[in-house]
Copies of this chain bind each other. A is one copy, B any other.
Amino acid sequence: MDSRTRLLDATTALLADRGYHGTGMKDILSASGAVAGSLYHHFPGGKDELAAACVRRAAEDVAVRIERNLASLRLGEAVDAFYVQSAAALRESGFRNGCPVGTPAAETTTFAEPMATAVADAFALWRAALARGLGAHGWPDDEAHQTASLLLSLFEGALLVARAEQSTAPLEVAARHSRALVEGFSSSPRPSGSRPAGRRRP
C-alpha cells in the first residue's frame, strides 16, 4: 500500500475514534508508519488538508455503499444491513469506532475552511444518496428528502449516544424505527403529523 493511502486509512480511523483535536500528528505518523516529510509531500496543508481528504474519501465511500444497498436490497433490509454493520464495528472496536464524519463534526466550529466544508458536504452527499435511493423506490421528492434527513440525523445521534454509553441499544432502537420509516411509506398508514395532507403515494 502506498504511503498516501496508509496516511488516509490511519487518519480516517483516528478521526472516527478521537475526533480532530484528539488526533495529534504523532498519532497519525505512528498509526500510518509514515514520516512527516511524506505527510507534507502528499498533503502540503498538513493535518487540516489530510483530515479534509479523509472526510471527503469516507463521504464518497459511504455514499456508494448507501446507493448500492438501496439499489440491490429491499429498503428495510438495506437500512438493517447498514445498522448491523455499524453496531458490529462499534462493538468490535470496544465502543471506539464512530463515524469518520460525525465524530469530528462535533468540532465543526473550530475548523478551518477545508475541513468545515468537507464535513458539511459529506452530510449533504449522504442525504442526497438516501433521497435518490428512496426516489428509485417510488417515493415523491419532498417525502424522500425529509425521510433522508431523518435517517441521517437519527443514525448520527444514535451512534453518538451509543459510543458514550458503550451500548448498542440506542442503535438497535434507531434501526427498528428507521426500518419502519422506510417500510411504512408504501405499505402502512402513518400519523397524520408526519405527512403533509394531500401528499400522493406511489
Contact = CB atoms under 8 A, between A and B. Distances in A.
A171 to B, nearest CB: 9
Contacts of A106: 19, 98, 102-107, 160, 163
A193 B169 contact: no
Nearest to A149: B173
Count this chain's copies in the assembly. Answer: 2
Given A170-B153, A173-B149, A105 B193 contact: no
B191 A188 contact: yes
A82 to B, nearest CB: 14
A184 B191 contact: yes
B163 A152 contact: no
A139 to B, nearest CB: 15
Q: Which 9 A-B pairs have the closest CB atoms?
A: A157-B157, A184-B191, A21-B21, A180-B193, A106-B106, A180-B194, A153-B157, A156-B157, A188-B191
7 contacts: A22-B110, A102-B157, A150-B154, A183-B191, A184-B193, A188-B190, A189-B190
Nearest to A110: B22
A103 B184 CA distance: 32
A190 B177 CA distance: 11
B190 A191 contact: yes
